């Protein structure tokens, strides 16, 4: 037998061992990859769904940088996962843009305008990061078919006020320290050394929740 066939046979013989010896994916480490939420509970339960909530702020540059990765990740989420944006209600200019998000949501234009709002603040500079006026916000949403009167009415509505209170309470309960933050099923606050690692850890925690449901 020549040298080449001998080498091929040796490689074939060793290949199953190589597969068996391949390291398993690293297990998540509490405190490093996620934190367990003591006062656990989702933002808004929906039968059979695993909730992933993102606490974000339009004025947060980290959220703006995270958004393209997050958008791509969302498109690949399984049908049993529900993604819910939660604007941060930290006071001051945070609240102004959180209120704007919920007003847009009430008017049915939040999804269409979401990325554009980040661009207006961090790329174009067409909206101020602080001290934004209702008229300036209404001017932005006008491009989405919303009149100034419609936007102003929604901005001041009891529905928006109630959603702000829920968002603020949720962020406090899950102990969000900054934005962006991902929370899986109200049980886990996702951590990571990069945006990519945050999303990988979120995927692993989603799988953990799915397995727990199946048991």
pLDDT tens-digit profile of 127-150? 999 999 999 999 999 999 999 999
* Max CA distance (Å), the chain: 87
Could you check whether the bond before residue 180 is cis, i.e. omega within 30 degrees of 0?
Answer: yes
Give yes or no for a contact between 202 and 184, defined as CB atoms under 8 angstroms apart.
yes
Q: Give Cα 20 distance to the centre of its chain.
A: 36
3-state secondary structure of 42: coil
**Mean pLDDT score, 1-21:** 42
User: How many residues does this entry show for the chain?
Assistant: 215
pLDDT digits (tens, 9 = 90+) for 53-99: 999 999 999 999 999 999 999 999 999 999 999 999 999 999 999 99
pTM above 0.75, yes or no: yes
The DSSP code for 145 is T
């Amino acid at each position: 037998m020549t040298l080449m066939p001998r080498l091929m046979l040796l490689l074939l013989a060793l290949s199953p061992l190589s597969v068996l010896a391949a390291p398993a994916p690293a297990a998540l480490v509490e405190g490093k990859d996620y934190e367990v939420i003591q006062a656990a509970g989702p933002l808004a339960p929906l039968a059979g769904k695993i909730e992933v909530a993102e606490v974000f702020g339009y004025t947060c540059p980290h959220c703006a940088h995270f958004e393209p990765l997050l958008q791509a990740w969302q498109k690949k989420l399984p049908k049993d996962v529900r993604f819910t944006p939660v604007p941060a209600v930290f006071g001051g200019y945070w609240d102004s843009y959180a209120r704007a998000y919920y007003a847009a949501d009430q008017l049915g234009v939040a999804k269409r305008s979401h990325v554009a709002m980040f661009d207006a603040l961090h790329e174009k500079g067409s909206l101020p990061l602080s001290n934004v006026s209702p008229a300036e916000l209404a001017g932005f949403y006008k491009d989405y078919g919303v009149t100034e009167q419609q936007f102003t009415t929604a901005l001041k509505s009891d529905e928006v006020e109630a959603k702000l209170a829920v968002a603020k309470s949720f962020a406090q309960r899950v102990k969000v320290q900054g934005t962006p933050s991902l929370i899986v099923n109200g049980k886990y606050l996702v951590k990571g050394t990069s945006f990519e690692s945050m999303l990988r850890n979120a995927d692993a925690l989603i799988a953990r929740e799915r397995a727990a449901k199946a048991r």
